[in-house]
Structure 1
Amino acid sequence: MHLLYEFRLKQSGVYKFYHKTLGSLIATPGRAWFFVLVIFIAFIGSALLAVTRTVPLKLLPFDNKNELQLVIDMPKNSTLEQTDQVARALGQFLATVDEVTDYETYIGQASPMDFNGMVRHYYLRSGSNVGEIRINFVAKKERKQQSHQIALRIRKQIEAIANKYNANVKIVESPPGPPVLDTLVAEIYGPEDASYTELLNIGKNVRERFKHTQGVVDVDDYSYAPYQRLLFKIDREKAALTQVSSQQIAQTLKIALSGQLLGTLHIPSERQALEIILQLPREQRSYITQLLTLRVKSKTGELVPLAELGQIKELDDEQTLYHKNLRRVAYVIGDTAGRSPVEAVIDLLDDFNDHPLPEGYSVELGGEGEWKITVDVFRDLGLAFAAALLMIYVLLVVQTGSLSLPAIMMIAIPLTVIGIMPGFWLLNTLFTSPVDGYPDQIFFTATAMIGMIALAGIVVRNGIILIDFIEKTRHREDRPSLTEALIEAGATRLRPILLTAAAAMFGAVVIILDPVFSGLAWSFIFGIFASTGFSLFVIPVAYYLINRNKPLDKPSA
């Protein structure tokens, strides 16, 4: 029966193919070592694809949401009408975008708080110079482009409108994470004796560097342009003579400018009660001369004009001071469009190394932005990968009683890199195209790294089965040679290994449709494809090099 099976196996096309390919590789030790060297070079080259920026890296990919947000920042002294003018111009453009179903505009206040509003502090925004626009898209199945692609497509038009009105408009996507202040955040620190104005001036320099870095958009900082505020200085002597208190003057100005709630009005047709507010008409409270004509009632009943009780002075308003870890800090923020944040940060770090800030000042890019979390996550995943490899090796040593056999079985694990990195490069080369001039890249993300770790336990199974079959074939009664045992074992297990790999690859295909976990699916597909193909040759070659001069009955270790 065995001889009949062996005859049929050697007559099969699989055996002939495997005999021709593997047999030529292990014909001489020199060929085998050359093949190992080629695989090692391929491994190093594949790993360098990420280092050389050929494969873009990012912590998490862009999700495909049904919403988008525009954050409007005007100069500090802008009126509600000026901010509303910008929002209306943006709204007129959004109405022409096919995928937009509706949008909501918020002027002078923040929109309802969401994930972005919480972690980026948008919910704290208020004032006549701020605004937000919430954009809703049609359902995902009814549009060809994902929300990130739409954001790229409308970016240039949004920026043109913002520049026309001297506004800073940011396009904010709803990210799957992480909770950071912004994608790119620079923290600028200075000497203890430096003024905060000097620190902000250095921040302006950092902001310009952000703007000149390729792919960096929506650059802003946490300062505002100098503006003047009005201070009514009471002439206390005149106020005392006219018997008008400071409290009466302050109350009069508060009612005139901010208004005072007098009560509520209940109307059957309204769901909520209407507020009754006493306030000076806008056209009368918008000019200083009009305000000074307001009259305050004295204790004697006389109406005294504000102009006789003091004068209005213009003062430069002070900047808000920010501190972190008891140190004064200035923030510069930005986002990226069509480029990996990792690449942008590396370029910025090179720029700061080549052109350092003045003595005593420093900039950190790893604080509140995505960079630090990206480094930490990939570092931790790398350590988890190393720990997984160590545990697999320990278990295999216990099972086989050998130190060399487990190493041969685990060769398939690093071979996944030869498939994954070139696979992501291939995706970006063949299946991506720019969106309105911005590259729309497929990133190697943390989910793809998780896929690599998960592959370690899957692909090592092929090595275990192959080595086990080689050992059993060598210890058979007819005692085949090492070369014959390697070829026969590989030819016998070739079809089951390929079928198992194909099942795992096709099982991961459905995950490709998910924008967040597609990286994990691509890692599975490319990793299994490469490791399966290479391990069918690398494992037998490595086994041949280690055991070619050892007697069969001698332990491999």
Structure 2
Amino acid sequence: MGFSGRIARYFQDSQLTPLLALVALLLGVFAVVVTPREEEPQIDVTMANVLIPFPGASAKDVEGLVATPAEQVLAQMTGVDHVYSVSRSGMAVITVQFKVGVPRIDALVRLHDTIQSNRDWVSPNLGIGEPIIKPKGIDDVPVVTLTLWSEDGAHGAYELERVAHAAEAELKRVPGTREVQTLGGPGRVVLVRLDADRLASHGLSALDLRDALLASNLAMPTGKLTRDNRDIVVETGEFFASAADVRSMVAGTFENRPVYLADVAEVIDGADQPVRYVWTGTGPAGAQKGITAQDEQPAVTLQITKKPGENAVAVAERVMQRVQGLRGTVIPDNVQVTVTRDYGSTANDKAMKLIQKLIFATLSVVVLVFLTLG
């Protein structure tokens, strides 16, 4: 009898055999419960966008003087899979994609060292700015996206963005979340519309207003006073806190009288000029989510990413529970929230399907062994 036969004969009548089988079964159940369920595989797929500003240069000059030399330098790194760039007026964006499996930290350190050690690829007198590195990875893919919209059209993109920003602070407190961002809103700005006639009548120019705005929106420590065994920090100036502060700013003097910004310009607190649009509309599957057929409406999207190693199913469930708790308070009743991506649900479905196949395969092997060996 061979070695395997002696082992089989030993465990055939041993009392340890059922115990070992039970331990193996419990370990399998423990692994199924503890192992994180994720849509995206936890592998190192590192890429980075390198932003190099070149103010005042045309797209052709940016390509010839910045993008092309940068591509040649960055392509020399070990572990690089692809390097490509986009050149536009005043800016070059070089995307570096590393091979699958290259550790993220090693790739980013290598990229940073390569950029810093080759800063002399262009003349320092051209006015090219400091490169900015924006790393990206598999964990930057949102696991949950929520689209906010209004059925009656009472809320535009600007109002919806304000609601989304208020919800951001609450969703960032959910355990396991990493980054919460709002996409699609125009942004909030204080817009200053100059009146050329009033500027001329007060003896001011646009450059005077620019200098006055820069000087007024400034706060800095100027020293400290020691009195009664206490140090009192002295600060001069203050930052603008509202549109009213901007309106009341002194822009200059005319005939020995102060000229306020409101005297020569219109100051508006509102939406910025949009650079991207998000719209929502009903499709064939709209009725399945309880959405009635309607025309397209402006919307904004909240995207939530998770921390590395977190269970996507658990994070998505906690996010959904938190959103339900915000209804009627942070999120008004007339603002609808539609789940446009839920990687927690899809990851759970795939994991359950895999477990079912493993159970079926195990039972098939047991039945086959029983029928052949008795």
Larger strand proportion of the pair? 2
Q: TM-score, normalised by structure 2?
A: 0.47
Larger helix proportion of the pair? 1
